[in-house]
Structures are given as structure tokens and as C-alpha cells.
Amino acid sequence: MAMGTTKHDPYPLDPDLLEAGHLVTEMMMKPNVTRFLHAANEKGCDAQVDYGALKGQAKANI
């Protein structure tokens, strides 16, 4: 199930549970930076976009 692909999707985790210094990562194609990652950045979390990892997996499965 893809969550966070539209502005109406619920967060996969309540951003209020996040604290500065947490590492938050997502593997989304579109958008590659979701509103959840934006919320994590606003809380001071380190955010990692793993779009590159998804592209590598796709190439490996061809």
C-alpha cells in the first residue's frame, strides 16, 4: 500500500512521534519527497529519500 502519494493520504506514522535526530526514510517514486518527509524535516529529523534504491532494484529485476 502506497501512503503519502497524494496530499489527502494519511501519514504512515504520526509526525508528533518524531523527534529531532530521528532518521526518517521513504522509498517512493512519485513524489520522491512526500509531505511526511517534509513534516519530519520540520521536526528536525534527518530525512533520506531512497528513490535511487528503488531505481537500482528495478534495474536488478529486468
What is residue 33's predicted lDDT score, i.e. its pLDDT?
Answer: 83
The three-class DSSP label of residue 47 is strand
41 within domain boundaries: yes
CA dihedral (20, 26, 31, 36) positive or negative: negative
Centroid of chain to Cα 44: 15
pLDDT greater than 70 at residue 53: no
2 within domain boundaries: no
Alpha-carbon gap, residue 1 to 37, rounded angstroms: 17
How many other CB atoms sit within 10 Å of the CB of residue 24?
19
Using pLDDT thresholds of 50, 70 and 90, give the confidence band for residue 15. Answer: very high
43 within domain boundaries: yes
Would the pTM count as exceeding 0.85? no
Q: Which three cell numbers stand for residue 15?
A: 509526525
How many domains does one find in the chain? 1
Q: Domain residues for 38?
A: 23-60
